[in-house]
Amino acid sequence: MALPYRRERPRLPAAERRRQIVEVTTRLIAERGFWGLSMQDVADGCGLTVPGLLHHVGSKDGLLLAVLDHRDREDMRSVGEQAPGTLRETCAALVRRNAAQPEIVRLFAVLEAESLTPDHPAHDYFDARQRKTVEMLSELATDETGDALTLARQIVALMDGLQLQWLRYPESVDLVAEWEYASARLFVTVAE
């Protein structure tokens, strides 16, 4: 009598398995969007069964939030190491960080657009993230201008727009160079 099929997979410590799950999920969402993501594809990419995957993340929504939280923690750590704290330096550090990870930027661009609908599982996450980003930049901008909140919103819009052009035309748009050119104009205007 034949034994039932058992998927061979290496046993990984929980933290390493979670990192693997986040990496595979990140790649798949960047390619297909959240609505095109299947738990089976993530499980297959990690050498797990779907129940094994659910053991680590709880649900598809939990999987999405794990990816988003991981990315935010890594970005804040990296930018904190690079930027001394002025508005201009912080923005430049963010752009350099994003230029080094197009897959992650694509993931966030796709998810942010999808999450504009209130029923998306990351709707509240992106709403809070946008508010927090604008608030952080406006706090850094208080020495730059009298209307720090408006400047912060314009910075976010400029960064997001440049990133979309860079993702669409990576062969002809240099994200860092475009940001440097635009920010030189933006911050000269602010200083006047």
Domain 14-191: top CATH class: mainly alpha
What pLDDT shows up at residue 77?
Answer: 83
Domains in the chain: boundaries: 14-191
3-state helix, strand and coil shares in percent for the chain, rounded to the nearest 5: 75, 0, 25
In this prediction, residue 26 carries a pLDDT of 86
Predicted confidence at residue 6, as pLDDT, reads: 46
- Kindly state the percentage of the chain with pLDDT values over 70: 89
- pTM summary value: 0.76
Q: Which residue has the tokens 């933290």?
A: 15
Can you give the pLDDT at residue 5? 45
| CB-neighbour burial class of residue 146 (10 A; exposed 0-12, middle 13-18, buried 19+) | exposed
Interatomic CA distance for residues 11 and 192, integer angstroms = 60
pLDDT for 143 equals: 67
State the Cα–Cα distance between residues 93 and 84, nearest whole angstrom: 9
Residues in the chain with pLDDT < 70?
Answer: 1-10, 82-84, 143-146, 188-192
Amino acid of residue 120: H
